[in-house]
Structure 1
Amino acid sequence: MSLNAYRRAQSIVETPRATEHRLMSQITGELIEARDAGLYGAALMPALHRNREVWGTFATLCGAPGNRLPDELRATIISLALWVERYSSAVATGRDSIDDLIQVNRAIIDGLAGIPQAA
């Protein structure tokens, strides 16, 4: 009961940006745990699926009418979501490493936290 009350209170006071930061941090943590556990192939699917879901949601929201983000940022997010979808398939089949997904997510986390990116 107290956990549900905490979650309700959190959703009331948390900004959308903070929610996105928390969600991306959680999902990236799952990707890191999967990598560090030496998982590959089908064993990576739960973490990859959750990452795909959040990126798909970001893309859908960016493509929605009335989205107030700048057009260039919306296009970049949609492009990244498409890349995540394709690249995740390559990771699942063992053709690529999960590290690039983690790196992209970390860059988004830093951006949401207001940490400037190195050139």
Structure 2
Amino acid sequence: MSLNAYERARTMVESPRGAEYRLMSQITGDMMQARDSGLSGAALVPVLHRNREVWSAFSGACAATGNQLPDALRASIISIGLWVDRFTSDVVAGRDSIEELISVNCSIIDGLRHQNALAA
């Protein structure tokens, strides 16, 4: 089976929360690897850009009409997305560390892991 066929089969059976968990885990792992490699400032742009894009997508989905998440959760996700956007600029400029972004993502991953366990 080719890799593309495997990916198509996986996405057909993967739950939305499972996909979010997988994506956040991959991005957070990439950020940890960049940190552990000693990267900082502008050298982090590729991995931080991907993280920023995902949070932007999460925020956009929560702002969309018809989103069925509770209003408070939607507002929290949008708020975190805005914070990630601002804080990422500080990390790239060298004013802050990537650690807080990793920590926030790890908290989200823990919550998604709990949701996936409840659904199983």
TM-score, length basis structure 2: 0.94
The equivalent of 2:41 in structure 1 is 41
Pair 1:6 & 2:6 matched: yes
Aligned-pair identity (%): 63
Q: Distance in 1 between matches of 2:89 and 2:42?
A: 11
Matched letter for residue 16 of structure 2:
P
Unpaired stretches in structure 2, ≥5 consecutive residues:
116-120
- Point out where structure 1 has 5 or more consecutive residues left out of the alignment: none
Q: For residues 67-114 of structure 1, give each alpha carbon's deviation from its aligned partner in whole angstroms, at most 9, with x where no partner exists.
A: 000000000000000000000000001100100000000000000011
Which residue matches 1:110? 110
1:91 and 1:70 mapped to 2: Cα distance? 31
Shift of residue 40, structure 1, vs aligned partner:
1.0
Instruction: Specify the alignment match of 1:51 in structure 2.
Output: 51
Query: How far, CA to CA, are the matches of 1:42 and 1:99 in structure 2?
Result: 15
TM-score normalized by the length of structure 1: 0.95
Alpha-carbon distance in 1 for matches of 2:17, 2:54: 14
Q: Deviations over 1:41-64 (max 9, x none)?
A: 111000000000000000000000
Amino acid at match of 2:83: W
Distance 2:100 2:43 in 1: 18
Paired position in structure 1 for 2:25? 25
SS of the residue 2:66 aligns to? coil
- Who is 1:98 aligned against? 98
C-alpha deviation, 1:23, in angstroms: 0.1
Distance 1:41 1:84 in 2: 15
Match of 2:74 in 1: 74
Q: Secondary structure at the match of 1:114?
A: helix
